[in-house]
Amino acid sequence: MNWDAVGAIAESLAALGVIASLMYVALQVRQNSKLIDQSILATRSAMVHGISVSFSRFYELLAQDSELSDIYQRGIRGEVLTDNEVGRFESLIIIYVTWLEDADHQHMSDLYFEEDDTDPVEGMAFIFRPLLSSPIGRQWWSRVAEELTTPSLYAKITKIMAQWDNSED
């Protein structure tokens, strides 16, 4: 066997090694992509679960405390509340707005479910309408909301509240 044949065999073996290496890298990339997709799905599921838990905790507060529930009901009806009751009603608003802030932030991230492009703040407007359209809620919103919320959430809710006002005309 001459040196040319040995060189050709070595080149063939090297080419097979490169092909095998590329196949291995392709397999690793595919497995890594699958793990990343699973991780994104788990993150998205955890986000949705967190939003659901926060939402349900708001109503757990009302269900567990009849006095607070009474304050909530009287507050959304626009009845007169004592200063202490106004403070508790405003605390409910803060809890709810904080939950909306979290939901809005998660929605604006690229991790939210792509097939669900519904804005959670707009989607939940019918639920927070009683709180924020009440006299105390409107006073609270105009007094402190801009300072306590992100510009994005403030703009969204202000726009929603304007739509409520226009629909009442």
Comparison of pLDDT for 73 and 42, the residue scoring more: 73
In tens, the pLDDT along 43-91 reads 777 777 777 787 788 889 899 999 999 999 999 999 999 999 999 999 9
Give the integer Cα–Cα distance in Å for 45 and 78.
38
**pTM value > 0.85:** no
| pLDDT tier for residue 94 given thresholds of 50, 70 and 90 | very high
Of 78, 88, 61, nearest to 133 by C-alpha is 78
